[in-house]
Structure 1
Amino acid sequence: MTVDRATEPLSESSAQRLYEVIRRRIILGELAQGVRLPEQRLADELQTSRIPLREALSKLDAEGFVELRPRRGAVVTTWTVEAVHHLFDSRLALETSAANKAAQQAAQGASLEALEVALERSEEQMRSGDDLAFAEANVRFHQALVAQAGNPLTDRLMASIAGQMVWLFHLTSQRDHEVACRAHRSIVEAVRSGNPRLTETLTYSHIEIGRKPSFEVLSALLGITG
């Protein structure tokens, strides 16, 4: 028997599991933007206590999925024009420099196995037709690209925005996934060639070219205009 991830009972010690369930509900829109999440009601619904729930909500707050407000508790984050621009700007700052370094590392003989695996998995998920699975795999590819630079601090910074990337990618899943995968493959080829400037340019273009279409989709869905 298959149990729905969003509704199955949760154990007292499963703060991480609670985090995953609530995160999934937010990304899928089952918990709408701007909605308040009363602790006791949510704990009852998920059959857990408030202690692990608070741990989960704290992590969701740190990753930008909810906002913890005094006397109001958790409220699902609402996407704004500024928030979308901030995410794109942060990605440009992190990923372009990391892409440049990744190509330098490749030129010195660094293995590209993890990056190539991430590319293949993103292409597999594209073919699966599962928008959320593709969004997750898409972000893992970008994390693998950043990791290729070999800088643990940059990896942690990238991890801090990965959840918001998944959320935005899923919200804008009407965009052409094949175009994204072709861009990913071009970036990997540039890394493999050991050409830092080309890799950085392709990465910048891939990220920036998605800004306007993202606003177009969000405008239709949420009334957000860039």
Structure 2
Amino acid sequence: MSLTSVSSRSRSSHIMLETIQRNGGQVTIDIDVLSETGRKSSLSQQTYFELRRRIILGRYPQGSRLAEQRLAEELEVSRVPLREAVPQLEMDGFVQTFPRRGAVVTSWDEKRVNDLFDLRLCIEVGAARYAARQVAAGASMKPLTDALSHSQNVVHSGDLFEVAQASTWYHEAVVDLAGNRLMKTMMRSVTGQMLWLFYLTSRLDADDAFDDHVNLRDAIASGNERVAEAVAYTHIERDRIPSFSALEVPYTSAPAPDDSDGVEH
């Protein structure tokens, strides 16, 4: 995939000046002044998402070193967007950087899997409770219903990345419905890792996961906070030990207590 082709299309459609209506008047914006910064930011983001996708799909295996020059050649970008994308990848848990070695793809082990599940319990169980409270107070279920419909559309598509994305979006929708900004911020910090783990464990029964999502939707729709949090807890915890089997990672410790190509090897 060439990222420069996307950037080139943006340049070809570039408009020097744009006039928009605002509050009954006209505001003229010099798009040319803003475009260069926007292009750089856009290319860095495209680079980030493409690198993240390749890591998730295993194109760049866990423990492998990301060689900057080869990545630049593969993606047909300069080293600047790569160097801007790597810190975000590190912040989101996809790579770790080392002096003189550069960026290395992180690996999944028992502690990392448990840490993610434990954090999800902390965020999502409470989010389900608050989402039920919001619905009981009149909040719309549409965003959650739309996310569930999308999951249903892709569950048998054969595209495991799409299935993993749909599952991630559904869990994000639950947190969004809770209406707690701090929860949303915390959730955004781990959705990339959730997407990665969902993809890696795609051998688990997608139908069972979808049924769990339906049950959680129904529990939230009922407005019963305790039922919603119990269903959320059961859904998340049910996948913990099977995830270790799917990843072929040894599982030795007890679950959390219930207390409510450009690569070098």
Q: TM-score, normalised by structure 1?
A: 0.93
CA drift of 1:29 comes to 0.5
Aligned-partner residue type, residue 197 of structure 2: L
Which of residues 179, 196, 201 is equivalent to 2:225?
Answer: 196
Which of residues 221, 226, 241 is equivalent to 1:212?
Answer: 241
Whether the aligned pair in 1 keeps the contact of 2:200 and 2:247 (CA below 8 Å) is yes
Which of residues 191, 194, 207 is equivalent to 1:165?
Answer: 194
CA drift of 1:159 comes to 0.8
Higher gyration radius (CA): 2
Matches within 5 A, 1:21-100: 21-100=50-129
SS in 1 for 2:104: strand
CA drift of 1:40 comes to 2.2
SS in 2 for 1:67: strand
More strand by share: 2
Matches within 5 A, 1:130-149: 130-149=159-178
Q: Residue 3 of structure 1 corresponds to which residue in structure 2?
A: none
In 2, the alpha carbon distance for the partners of 1:70 and 1:101 equals 44
Deviations 1:120-174 (A, max 9, x none): 1011110212111010010000000011110111111101100111111111101
Identical positions, percent:
47
Which of residues 2, 5, 23 is equivalent to 1:8?
Answer: 2
Q: Quick check: 1:104 aligned with 2:133?
A: yes
Where structure 2 has 5 or more consecutive residues not aligned to the other structure, the ranges are: 8-38, 252-265
SS in 2 for 1:31: coil
Q: Residue 225 of structure 1 corresponds to which residue in structure 2?
A: 250
In 1, the alpha carbon distance for the partners of 2:3 and 2:184 equals 33
In 2, the alpha carbon distance for the partners of 1:168 and 1:106 equals 30
Where structure 1 has 5 or more consecutive residues not aligned to the other structure, the ranges are: 1-6
CA drift of 1:15 comes to 0.6
CA drift of 1:119 comes to 0.7
In 2, the alpha carbon distance for the partners of 1:45 and 1:133 equals 23
CA drift of 1:71 comes to 1.9
Q: TM-score, normalised by structure 2?
A: 0.79
